[in-house]
Amino acid sequence: MLSFFKDYKYFAIAFSIICIIIMAFIYNILNVEKPLPIYQPTMVATELVDSTLQYKKKYHKIADFSLTNQNGKTITQADYKDKIYVADFFFTTCQTICPIMTDHMVYIQKELKNDPDILLLSHTVTPDIDSVAQLKKYAVEKGVDDARWNLVTGEKKQIYDLARKSYLAVKDVIGFDPYDMIHTENFMLIDKERQIRGFYDGTDPEEIERLITDIHKLKKDSK
């Protein structure tokens, strides 16, 4: 009897190993991939989310907006309709993380230059400094493709609300102007339904490669 159970034990172990190998093989053959998450306010660090939204678990989308780009053109959500895009927050006089972030946006622009379905959108957090002329000068210096990438300025409150209530991307400046903010290194990937599908460190080259991979994945899933 003991010999039977001992033999059965070895059979069970061998059978389990074989099953794991078969399952791994099938998984690789089918190339099963999970879809990118749809980020909600409850999934993001509370310091990045306006207090009015910290409870929200579903149906979060980027709000309507009307801002002005580096060419003095009014840019709204209609310009990004049915497009996948990468958004960030910056300011032209920043000497720390912004130059790195902008260089990485330029890299993304170059890597996806032949894909008209992918756009970029950079919001200044110092609209009092970043006039249209200032944004244009910065755009020319950095090699921004006007057809693909908008650098936008506008009313400070609207930019703040977009940052805190839509993109979930910047921190409050406690004790100062209620519409002051500390921008982060975050790049946000937005789908055709105006939903956030990913957050990426805009200063990290490996994160940029992950972002580009996710863009291709999102485009494939959107078909």
pLDDT of residue 157: 93
Residues 210 and 52: their CA atoms lie apart, in Å, by 31
**Same-domain status, 15 and 89:** no
DSSP 62: P
Whether the per-residue pLDDT at 206 is higher than 70: the answer is yes
The structural domain count of the chain equals 2
Residue 9, domain extent:
1-32
**Same-domain status, 2 and 76:** no
Is 19 annotated to bind a ligand? Reply is no
Q: Which residue has the tokens 């720390």?
A: 96
The pLDDT tens digits of the residues spanning 83-127 come to 999 999 999 999 999 999 999 999 999 999 999 999 999 999 999
* Among 7-11, 15-19, 47-51, the range of highest mean pLDDT: 47-51
Is 94 annotated to bind a ligand? Reply is yes
* Contact by Cβ (8 Å): 52, 157: no
* Phi, psi (degrees; rounded to nearest 5) at 86: -110, 130
Is 98 annotated to bind a ligand? Reply is yes
* Cα–Cα nearest to 144, from 90, 211, 195, 77: 90
Whether the per-residue pLDDT at 36 is higher than 60: the answer is yes
**Same-domain status, 121 and 170:** yes
Residues 203 and 184: their CA atoms lie apart, in Å, by 10
**Same-domain status, 5 and 81:** no
pLDDT of residue 27: 45
Residues 30 and 169: their CA atoms lie apart, in Å, by 36
What is this structure's pTM? 0.84
pLDDT of residue 13: 54
Whether the per-residue pLDDT at 183 is higher than 90: the answer is no
Tokens read off for 59: 């149906």
**Same-domain status, 63 and 17:** no
**Same-domain status, 4 and 57:** no
pLDDT of residue 22: 61
Residue 170 neighbours by CB distance under 10 Å:
22
Q: What angle do CA 199, 200, 205 make, to 5 degrees?
A: 170
**Same-domain status, 80 and 144:** yes
Question: Mean pLDDT throughout 59-81?
Answer: 98
